[in-house]
Amino acid sequence: MSTTTFSYEFNNECFKGKVSFPTGIFIDGKFSAGSDNTTIPVLNPSSGKVIASVAEGTAKDVDRAVQVARRAFETLWGFKVSAPERGKLLNKLADLVEKHSDELAALEALDNGKTFGWAKAADLDMSISTIRYYAGWADKIHGQVLETNEDKLSYTRHEPFGVVGQIIPWNFPLLMMAWKLGPALATGNCIVLKPSEFTPLTALRMCSLINEAGFPPGVVNVITGYGNTAGQAISGHMGIDKVAFTGSTLVGRKIMEASAKSNLKNVTLELGGKSPNIVFNDADLEQAVNWSSHGIYWNHGQCCCAGSRIFVQSGVYDEFLRLFTAKSQSIKLGDPFVSDSYQGPQVSEVQFNRIMDYINSGKEQGATVHLGGEQHGKDGYWIQPTIFTDTRPDMRIVKEEIFGPVAVLIKFEDEEDVIRQANDTMYGLAAAVFTKDVTRGIQLAHRLHAGTLWVNCYNVLFPNVPFGGYKQSGIGRELGEYALNNYTNVKAVHVNLGQVL
């Protein structure tokens, strides 16, 4: 069966050039059509029009990919390739991503809707640095020699699981792929990865770069497909030893259930959030406003750690609201390929409708729409930056993850009051504190129930610093040395040197 191909000519101020690459499923280093020979349409969210078709992978394709990955692990990868060689290949891949960074940023902007400028400066930059970071770890993964007694040598080994399944979201397609590939490959695992059906283009382009870098066939396999078919097949496959997922808490539960019902595979989850952003009376208001705007509107609010609950102390609430409103009004919604655009469209009609449903629920439940709250323009999936005030803790817009450019401003009186409100959530992914009192900032960072705490900044991430959630925001950690633990089993070895029975 022949595979589909994506060809597109970019001609805008940010990127000019023609791209063309296969868009089939990628198994054993080769592209092909899916087993049912069906395709998935890919839309440009700026216009709502179809721009490409990619192969639809099914459970049969996942099964074939798992068999190939297992064979590759046992014969071409895993213990068959030295750690320095794994690092060398990862560095080659990082170099190729850097070489093609403009093209990859353009693809992200095209099927995701994020601006080319942010895709290049944030997504591509951190993807490259993440792959390089884990290239450096490849030959530094080791166990310990443990003191027991003179008649025994006891030591540990950190061994790869074997075949791991990875399911990545649509909000940061390439970046999440890098976060998943880096530690899994550095530790010697083979991969079956499913990108989102909304944003598959960069993942498929990466397949050709993986081949070009020299990875053996079958080490990385990519199945484009729907969550309820290909994703479900990965989660419940008896031949997959571990699954890593980034996405909603609802789907995370389904993945844990599928793991429990199959082979009790190891699971790591990076899930949703409803992150509190706390501004005290003594904060630098100009900086607090700038960072808070970045915290909620960056990536169009489609960020799991978005600072969507903005708590402002009563002494500066009115002034903060005035400045934050002006900052929100200054955000330019526009063509993702225009250099001064900050916010593009939401990723899909499904996501657009979901956000508008939350906005309507806020209106119906009595909150005040201080700014925005409507669609922007007529074509595509654009939503105005939106600010709600006069909310109650029981409102959906206060309790639930919206995943859009929608902020709620909440007035508070003192530290105990805001700590109670901030922690009153099922989520625990991130939080932020703005204050000139560093002691207060650190103390609150220790008392807030979240995996990442920012003091006087927001949405600042580094490859060597772990990221993950408390409570229903996930299990395990991405990034840093901590992520390596997600992809290895620890084996204890006891060698008898002289004990006689």
Which of 445, 30, 427, 16 minimizes the C-alpha distance to 207? Answer: 30
What DSSP line would sit under 358-402, residue for residue? HHHHHHHTT-EEEE--SB-SSSSS-B--EEEES--TTSHHHHS--
Residue 430 pairs in a beta bridge with 452
* Residues 351, 381 contacting (CB under 8 angstroms): yes
Residues with catalytic roles: 270, 304
Task: Work out whether strand 309-313 and strand 406-412 pair parallel, antiparallel, or are unpaired.
Answer: parallel
Contact assessment for residue 141 and residue 488, using Cβ atoms and an 8 Å cutoff: yes
Question: 396: closest CA among 364, 369, 425, 362?
Answer: 362
The burial of 27, by beta-carbon neighbours within 10 Å (0-12 exposed, 13-18 middle, 19 or more buried), is given as: buried
Cα(138)–Cα(85) distance, integer angstroms? 8
Question: What is the C-alpha to C-alpha distance for residues 34 and 304, in angstroms, rounded to an integer?
Answer: 31
Helix, strand or coil, per DSSP, at residue 451 = coil
Render 457-476 in DSSP notation, one character per residue.
--S---TTS-B--SGGGEES
Q: Give the separation between CA 207 and CA 224, rounded to whole angstroms.
A: 12
